[in-house]
Amino acid sequence: MELIDASLVDWSRAQFALTAMYHWLFVPLTLGLGVIVAVMETIYVVRGSVFWKDVARFWMSLFGVNFAIGVATGIILEFEFGSNWSNYSWFVGDIFGAPLAIEGIVAFFLETTFLAVMFFGWNKVGKIPHLVSTWLTMIGACLSAVWILVANAWMQHPVGMAFNPETVRNEMVDFAAVAFNPVAVSKFFHVVSSSWVLGAVFVVGVSCWYLFRHRHEAFALASIRVAASLGLAATFLTGVTGHASAVNMAKFQPMKLAAAEGLYEGGTGVGLVAVGLLNPAADWSRADENAFLFRFEIPKALSWLATGDADRYVPGINDLLRGGYETEQGDIALSAEEMMARGRRAIAALGDFRRAAAVGKSEEARVAEGVLEKDFPYFGYGYLKNASDLTPPVPLTFYSFRLMVASGCFFAVLFAGVLAAGRRLTTWGTWRRPVFLGILCCIPLAYAASEAGWIVAEVGRQPWAVQGLLPNCAAVSRLAVGSVQTTFFLFLAIFSLLLVAEVGIMLKVIAKGPNV
Amino acid sequence: MSVFSKILGMRVYSSCRGDAKRAMLPPVLMMQMADAVRRVIRFYAEGFRSMTLGRVLWALVLLKLAVIFGAVRLFFMPPALVGSEARKAETVSAEFMQRAENR
């Protein structure tokens, strides 16, 4: 059997990242615009004003365009699991299958049923049934996100399963543990609230374009009022849920937290890098005192944010590789070399078990199964060649984290600013042109921040497909590198063409404007 | 509900006896269900007709689905694991062993 080419792993990852990032252009706007439309329609039903009905209908039409053009983009990811990541797909077994099946059923029945009533039912059903349909469509979209994120959270922090060496699969033994995985809970609220922020930035940005062009000013001001209020609340919620995610990161994925902070040597009372410039000449995989060219730290903030205690210990990348420190659970952390040795023992035990079981040597199989069970938490470490393979790409994780957090803080100020300005937005003189165009430019910034969040989550947990259990080099299918490269460029061409067409449709609807 | 279908439904229902009659839905209910389905179809059809951007959007959606399922799935992304469940398990197990040795 030939060796797996390292570039196969890289190209397969690149292809998955391309598809996931393209898919993620549509999902947050669906979630964000959905809740804004639902709030606007609620105002219409409560006040009985036709103006608010027209406002809701316009944003609903953009919601519909985004929904239609984003449909089925996620299915390609599921194809990629089967074709490019077949070992991974087999290994995760029903843990991944069950949440995705629930997602499919919920998404299909709830979204498609109520989406139709929401779009086609304005003059066919009463106000209240229509409003209920709008809210149920929004709730359906959120419920779809729940199950996708439950599956993703299991990859970050695998729980509620038992590995079956006969089938070489993980089998779910505790559905509640999988569904209420702490990583899934914090991730769900963080993803949904950050999507609301993106939706709010989109509405405020488009509305500012109307103000800039002196068109539909009453409509634009009303839209800004709703979107900025919701966006401001969502920004604070995103901050709170982001903090919960960071606490989980410190507990379950300390290497990701260390990479996001560029922290090589940990300690007690560790500061948080508020602003920093990494040294491009540094060796990111191991100890480097010159990791930063410049940094400004908030004293003790990382210890406080990660553990709730400003004087608690937070391990750095080198500490995690060396081991020997006391973990949150009170154990002494193993070194990378020790974990790699236990991983190799687990893999060898799997082979011993299967060989013994195949010839009916049940006692030998039982002994091997015992070894495998004991060392299975380190199974994936057995595939690593060097301890430094455990270090994720530090610069990408570090800068993505800062882009995400800085954008979130900036959006809070933006929402507060436009809310405070209120009607004065229409009377600004000299500054109106740069301010409105600047706010319009915040739309791509919101997308960049949202994608950056996923980069922190996914790049920061490298080299793992499933944390601690399966690295990418074992998860990837044995394919020709050339065929993966071909599909990568094919997807790039298809996605680019579709995106141009889709953005064109969206701009056409915006240019036409609302019927108010 | 037409008179014809009402009479036909009554005849079929009344011609059944015992368990068959109990298992069968009353004709009036069947007609109401058929009517509801027709109304749902009409609701969707009128909705699609009234869409201002409908044609372009649906052309794009259908093109995307055709590319995804017709080309990508069939020609570029076939499942890598084939055969029985036991065969798949054996393949993955062999890959896991081999990759650990060749790390």
The whole-angstrom distance between B38's CA and the closest CA on chain A is 15
Q: What is the dihedral of CA A90, A94, A95, A101, to 10 degrees?
A: 120
Question: What average pLDDT does the segment A25-31 reach?
Answer: 92
Q: What is the pLDDT of residues A402-442, one digit of tens each?
A: 999 999 999 999 999 999 988 777 776 677 788 888 999 99
Q: How far apart, in whole angstroms, are the C-alpha atoms of residue A83 and residue A476?
A: 9
pLDDT on residue A472: 94
Name which residue leads in pLDDT, A303 or B41: A303
Give the pLDDT band (50/70/90) at residue A160. Answer: very high
CB contact under 8 A, A68 and B61: yes
Residues on chain A touching B74 (C-beta within 8 angstroms)? none
Secondary structure element (H or E) that encloses residue A169, with its range: strand A169-172
CB contact under 8 A, A76 and B81: no
pLDDT on residue A287: 56
Half-sphere exposure of A367 (CA within 13 A, CB side): 6
Nearest CB to A487: which of B44, B76, B88? Answer: B76
pLDDT on residue A52: 94
Answer positive or negative: Cα dihedral of A111, A112, A113, A117: positive
CA distances from A108 to A140, A166, A348 (A): 9, 35, 44
Question: Which of 10-49 (B) contact A at CB < 8 A?
Answer: 43-44, 46-48
Name which residue leads in pLDDT, A457 or A502: A457
Residue of B nearest to A343 (CA): B100
The whole-angstrom distance between B62's CA and the closest CA on chain A is 10
**Mean pLDDT across chain A, nearest whole number?**
89
Name which residue leads in pLDDT, A94 or B5: A94
CB contact under 8 A, B89 and A351: no
Q: What is the pLDDT of residues A352-395, one digit of tens each?
A: 999 999 888 889 999 999 999 999 999 999 999 998 899 999 99
- Cβ atoms of A260 and A397 closer than 8 Å: yes
Question: In the A/B pair of chains, how many CB contacts fall below 8 A?
Answer: 127
CB contact under 8 A, A79 and B60: no
CB contact under 8 A, B89 and A75: no
Residues on chain A touching B79 (C-beta within 8 angstroms)? 82-83, 86
Residues on chain B touching A68 (C-beta within 8 angstroms)? 57-58, 60-61
Question: Which of 73-92 (B) contact A at CB < 8 A?
Answer: 73, 76-81, 85, 88-89, 92
Q: How far apart, in whole angstroms, are the C-alpha atoms of residue A480 and residue A490?
A: 16
Rounded to 5 degrees, φ, ψ at A502 are: -70, -45
Name which residue leads in pLDDT, A329 or A299: A299
Residue of A nearest to B68 (CA): A76
Residues on chain A touching B77 (C-beta within 8 angstroms)? 76, 79-80, 82-84, 487
Query: Testing the interface with A: which of B95, B98, B102 to mutate, by most A Cβ within 10 A?
Result: B95
Residue of B nearest to A6 (CA): B103
Q: How far apart, in whole angstroms, are the C-alpha atoms of residue A198 and residue A33?
A: 8
CB contact under 8 A, A347 and B102: no
Residues on chain B touching A112 (C-beta within 8 angstroms)? none
The whole-angstrom distance between A182's CA and the closest CA on chain B is 30
Residues on chain A touching B56 (C-beta within 8 angstroms)? 505
pLDDT on residue B2: 47
Question: What average pLDDT does the segment A248-259 reach?
Answer: 93
CB contact under 8 A, A84 and B80: yes
Within 10 A of A310 (CB to CB), how many other CB atoms are there?
15
The whole-angstrom distance between B22's CA and the closest CA on chain A is 30
Query: Testing the interface with B: which of A12, A347, A476 to mutate, by most B Cβ within 10 A?
Result: A347
Residue of B nearest to A340 (CA): B100
Residue of B nearest to A509 (CA): B53
Give the pLDDT band (50/70/90) at residue A4. Answer: low
pLDDT on residue B16: 56
- Cβ atoms of A375 and A349 closer than 8 Å: yes
Residue of A nearest to B73 (CA): A79
CB contact under 8 A, B57 and A69: yes
Residues on chain A touching B94 (C-beta within 8 angstroms)? 1
Between A57-61, A126-130, A140-144, A412-416, the lowest mean confidence (pLDDT) is in: A140-144
Q: What is the pLDDT of residues B46-98, one digit of tens each?
A: 877 777 666 777 777 788 778 777 777 677 667 778 888 888 899 999 999 98
Question: What average pLDDT does the segment A270-286 reach?
Answer: 84
**Tokens, residue A18:** 């391309």
Question: What average pLDDT does the segment A493-508 reach?
Answer: 87
pLDDT on residue A281: 80
Q: What is the 3-state secondary structure (H, E, C) of A203-222?
A: HHHHHHHHHHCCCCHHHHHH
CB contact under 8 A, B60 and A501: yes
CA distances from A435 to A131, A205, A428, A499 (A): 35, 11, 10, 27
Task: Give the length of chain A.
Answer: 516
- Does residue B4 surpass a pLDDT of 70? no
Residues on chain B touching A125 (C-beta within 8 angstroms)? none
Between A153-157, A244-248, A349-353, B10-14, the lowest mean confidence (pLDDT) is in: B10-14
Q: How far apart, in whole angstroms, are the C-alpha atoms of residue A125 and residue A308?
A: 51
**pLDDT winner (highest mean) among A37-46, A58-67, A136-145, A305-314:** A37-46
CB contact under 8 A, A350 and B93: yes
What single-letter amino acid sits at A33?
L
DSSP letter for A280, please.
T
Q: What is the pLDDT of residues A314-336, one digit of tens each?
A: 999 999 999 988 887 788 999 99
pLDDT on residue A113: 79
Angle at A482 between CA B71 and CA A487, to 5 degrees: 30
Within 10 A of A54 (CB to CB), how many other CB atoms are there?
17
Tell me whether strands A464-466 and A470-471 are parallel, antiparallel or unpaired: antiparallel
The whole-angstrom distance between B57's CA and the closest CA on chain A is 7
Residue of B nearest to A349 (CA): B97
Residue of B nearest to A114 (CA): B44
pLDDT on residue A279: 85
* Beta bridge partner(s), residue A162: A171
Between A186-190, A409-413, A506-510, the lowest mean confidence (pLDDT) is in: A506-510
pLDDT on residue B11: 52
* Beta bridge partner(s), residue A313: A268
Report the predicted TM-score, pTM, of the whole model to 2 decimal places.
Answer: 0.88
The whole-angstrom distance between B76's CA and the closest CA on chain A is 7
Give the pLDDT band (50/70/90) at residue A451. Answer: very high
Residue B9, C-beta contacts closer than 8 angstroms, at least 6 positions apart: B27, B28, B30, B31
Q: Which residue has the tokens 């992304």?
A: B77
- Does residue B9 surpass a pLDDT of 80? no
